[in-house]
Amino acid sequence: MVEQHLSVLPILLPLLAAPIAIIIGRSYLSWMVATIASAGAFIFSWQLLLAALSEGVISYAVGGWPPPWGIELRVDAANAFVLLAVSSVSTLVLLYARDSIQKEIDQSQHALFYTAHLLCLAGLSGILLTGDAFNLFVFLEISSLATYTLVSLASDRRCLTAAFRYLVMGTIGATFILIGVGMLYMKTGTLNMLDLAERIHVYDSSRTINTGLAFIMVGVSIKLALFPLHAWLPPAYTHAPSAVTAFLASTATKVAVYVMIRFIFTIFGAEHVFHEMGMDIILMVLAIVAIFKCSYMATVQSNVKTVLAYSSVAQIGYMVLGISLVSVTGLMAGMIHIFNHALMKGALFMAVGAVFYRVGSVDIKAFNGLGRQMPLTMAAFTLAGLSIIGVPLTVGFISKWYLVTAALEQDQWVLAGLVLLGSLLAVVYIGRILEAAYFQKLPDNVDASKIKEVPLLMLIPMWILVLANIYFGIETSITTEAAGSAAEWLFQHTRLPEVAQ
Map the footprint of other proteins across residues 147-206, applying CB under 8 A.
148-149, 152-153, 157-158, 160-161, 163-164, 167-168, 171-172, 175, 178-179, 182-183, 185-191, 195, 199, 203, 206
- Closest Cα partner for 118 from 99, 96, 146? 146
Torsion angle, CA of 250/298/261/52, rounded to 10 degrees? -30
Of 272-301, which residues contact other proteins (CB under 8 A)? 301
Smallest gap from Cβ 249 to other proteins, in A, equals 16
The rounded Cα 482 to chain-centroid distance in angstroms is: 17
Of 77-116, which residues contact other proteins (CB under 8 A)? 108-109, 112-113, 115-116
Which range binds other proteins by CB under 8 A, 11-19, 353-361, 390-398, 442-450?
11-19
The Cα 260–Cα 214 span in angstroms is 12
**Of 116 and 351, which CB lies nearer to other proteins in the complex structure?**
116
Smallest gap from Cβ 453 to other proteins, in A, equals 29
**Of 157 and 452, which CB lies nearer to other proteins in the complex structure?**
157
Smallest gap from Cβ 87 to other proteins, in A, equals 18
- Closest Cα partner for 417 from 403, 431, 398, 428? 403
**Of 203 and 401, which CB lies nearer to other proteins in the complex structure?**
203
The answer to whether 422 and 403 have CB atoms below 8 angstroms apart is no
Number of H helices and E strands in the chain, helices first, is: 20, 2
Q: Report if residue 212 touches other proteins, rule: CB under 8 A.
A: yes
Torsion angle, CA of 27/9/11/97, rounded to 10 degrees? 30
The answer to whether 71 and 130 have CB atoms below 8 angstroms apart is yes
Smallest gap from Cβ 323 to other proteins, in A, equals 22
Give, in degrees to the nearest 5, the angle at Cα 222 between 221 and 227: 70
Smallest gap from Cβ 355 to other proteins, in A, equals 18
Binding mask 360-389 for other proteins (x = CB under 8 A): ------------------------------
Smallest gap from Cβ 248 to other proteins, in A, equals 15
Of 58-77, which residues contact other proteins (CB under 8 A)? 60-65, 68-71
Q: Report if residue 18 touches other proteins, rule: CB under 8 A.
A: yes
- Closest Cα partner for 482 from 287, 340, 321, 313? 340
- Closest Cα partner for 332 from 313, 318, 314? 318
The Cα 419–Cα 167 span in angstroms is 32
Q: Over 6-54, what HEC string results?
A: CCCHHHHHHHHHHHHHHHHCCHHHHHHHHHHHHHHHHHHHHHHHHHHHH
**Of 71 and 364, which CB lies nearer to other proteins in the complex structure?**
71
**Of 9 and 383, which CB lies nearer to other proteins in the complex structure?**
9
User: Which residue of 306, 377, 399, 485 would you call a contact of other proteins, by CB under 8 A?
Assistant: 306
Smallest gap from Cβ 332 to other proteins, in A, equals 31
